[in-house]
Structure 1
Amino acid sequence: MRNPALILSSLAVLLAGPVLAQTTETPPPPPAPPAVTPPSEWRAVPPENLMVIDTTKGRIMVELIPEIAPLHVDRMRLLTRAGFFDGIVWHRVIDQFMAQTGDPLGTGEGQSAYPDLKAEFTFRRGPEMGFTPVAAPAGAQVGFLHSLPVQTQPDAVMATTADRKVHGWGLYCPGVAGMARDDAPDSANSQFFLMRQPYPSLDKRYSVWGMVVSGLDVVRSIKVGEGDGGMVTDPDRMTRVRIAADLPEAERPTALVLDTASPRFQALAAETRAARGADFSVCDIMLPAQVTGQPPAPPTQSPPAA
């Protein structure tokens, strides 16, 4: 893994005979305004868990999820605070898959000087963890932990385990942040990737450590590489990466995400399940977010003087 129409049609309406008299039917009512989510239904991402990635294509904000991958979250904070990611390119990008970065060499062969990490493909979920289920396929539950889509064993299994917890794992939906590695499970280091589309074959095979809460459009706009390997010529790059808590207050962005414990979320989940029917996946639920402190758009370059 480290190397890991619209067709427009026109209709001519021919009116034969005299023009009909204008009717006096009551016009239809205007559409209802969109529902407004009350402030109490938003959850603020803690600044310590908010990774702010400024790139040549715009800003991406990732919520770190320490409950599921503490070692990887600690490594992301450590490298970010050391300025390690500043200037590093998105060296491997595959359109219907993911965008990969974190290699100081930009070749897919580099990493930080720190030791490789032990894999965190799964985690143990207890009743206190704040998991919000949205569906219960046979023998499992799927839902959200904070902003992250996850799957776990059913709650009922907790009564049968010594620690009163069950196995869970992050699901590789669009926006999920995962750790790149070599063939060896415990070989992740500094390279990571952000999902552009769902890719369930990665589940329980690569450690999940976060979720994009703002900027998925940016992730999908990063320059794509060539061939099956996705290596990029003249790649986009990360210009600056910071933990929000470390930024001066005047520069610190905030991210509010729809609280999965809120009635509005329950309505959103129900609407999505009904719309998708048998094709429903937890990846179909995109949590709304409100972000403040976004950087200004990069200036447009003026053409050179004649």
Structure 2
Amino acid sequence: MRNLLAAALLMATAAPALATGLEIDIAGEANGTVTIELFDDVAPGHVERIKTLAEQGAYDGVVFHRVISGFMAQTGDVQYGKVDGDTSGAGSGGSDMPDLKAEFSDQPFEAGVVGMARSQSPDSANSQFFIMFGPAPHLNGQYTVVGKVIDGMDVVESIKRGTGGNGAVAGTPDVMTAVRVTD
């Protein structure tokens, strides 16, 4: 009994495990690094996909193709969103992996929250994600939350905005120059 109590006490005082996250270097109108804590416990399948693509370098050089003031900045189209190619189709592609089954939760969409972009089908998220500029309760329970910005929200706030109702970025969009997985 004493050993169990000692083990429980040791576990309670041990340093907490660091959460898995991302560091995203952004260049363009925004310049700097954004640190995101990934919610492995909320959306394990989606987090695993983001980590896999980041580790493969698939997100490096991908533009922010859709940015709407007061709403969100969207990126992650590894198929059509590479800055060194034709980005006119950015937002319509994904990765060469299959789409993911939705992992909706009760996590609210508010400033700094990272969600997975999808088409009309709830089970169509693949590689694209977005970072919220402010609250959007109409997304709650409708899109998968994968994480939250824990540092660099000022960088997110300075990402080049798009125009029109869909927020398409004209000219030279901001780009994720490097995306790293952290522990």
Q: TM class, shorter-chain normalised?
A: 0.7 to 0.9
Return the match for 1:114 from 91, 97, 102: 97
Aligned residue for 2:48, secondary structure, equals helix
Q: Secondary structure at the match of 1:225?
A: coil
What code does the residue aligned with 1:180 have?
A
Unpaired segments ≥5 residues, structure 2: 1-14, 82-89
Look up the match of 2:120: 183
- State the aligned residue count: 156
- Residue equivalent to 1:235: 173
1:222 to partner: Cα distance: 0.1
Q: Which has the higher contact order (CA 8 A, sep 6+)?
A: 2
Report the equivalent of 2:53.
79
Cα displacement string for residues 224-248 of structure 1 (whole angstroms, at most 9, x for unaligned residues): 0010010001100000000124xxx
Describe the SS at the equivalent of 1:170. coil
- Distance (whole Å) between structure 2 residues aligned to residue 171 and residue 218 of structure 1: 22
Map of 1:39 onto structure 2: none
d(CA) in 1 for partners of 2:17, 2:46? 18
Q: TM-score, normalised by structure 1?
A: 0.50
Matched-pair contact (CA < 8 Å) for 1:59–1:215: yes
Provide the C-alpha distance between the structure 2 equivalents of 1:78 and 1:51, rounded to a whole number of angstroms.
11
After TM superposition, the structure 1 = structure 2 runs for residues 12-161 of structure 1, keeping only pairs within 5 Å, are 46=18, 49-56=20-27, 57-104=31-78, 105-106=80-81, 107-122=90-105
CA drift of 1:50 comes to 1.8
CA distance in 2, matches of 1:208, 1:186: 14
Give deviations 1:129-185, integer Å, cap 9, x for gaps.
Answer: xxxxxxxxxxxxxxxxxxxxxxxxxxxxxxxxxxxxxxxx11001000000000000
How much does 1:45 deviate?
Answer: 7.1
Structure 2 CA distance for aligned equivalents of residues 85 and 220 of structure 1: 20
Specify which of 189, 210, 233 is matched with residue 147 of structure 2: 210
- For 2:16 and 2:127, locate their aligned partners in 1 and report how far apart those are by CA, in whole Å: 27
Runs of 4+ with >2 A deviation: none
Bigger Cα Rg: 1
Deviation per residue, 1:13-32 (Å, 9 max, x gap) = xxxxxxxxxxxxxxxxxxxx
Q: Structure 1 residue 80: deviation in Å?
A: 0.6
Residues 80 and 52 from structure 1, CA distance in 2 versus in 1: closer, same or farther, beyond 3 angstroms?
same
Structure-1 separation of matches of 2:147 and 2:21:
9
Q: CA deviation at 1:44?
A: 7.0
Superposition deviation, residue 110 in structure 1? 1.1
AA in 2 matched with 1:237: V
1:72 deviates by 0.6
Q: Is the 8 A contact 1:102 1:191 kept in 2?
A: yes
**d(CA) in 2 for partners of 1:170, 1:217:** 22
C-alpha separation in 1, matches of 2:110 and 2:134: 6
What is the TM-score when the length of structure 2 is the normalising length?
0.82
Name the CA distance, whole Å, in 2 between partners of 1:45 and 1:98.
Answer: 30
The 2-side partners of 1:84 and 1:73 are apart by: 15
SS in structure 1 at match of 2:138: helix
CA distance in structure 2 between the partners assigned to 1:103 and 1:69 by the alignment: 19
Question: Which secondary structure state, in structure 2, belongs to the residue aligned with residue 77 of structure 1?
Answer: helix
Unaligned stretches of 5+ residues in structure 1: 1-42, 123-168, 246-306
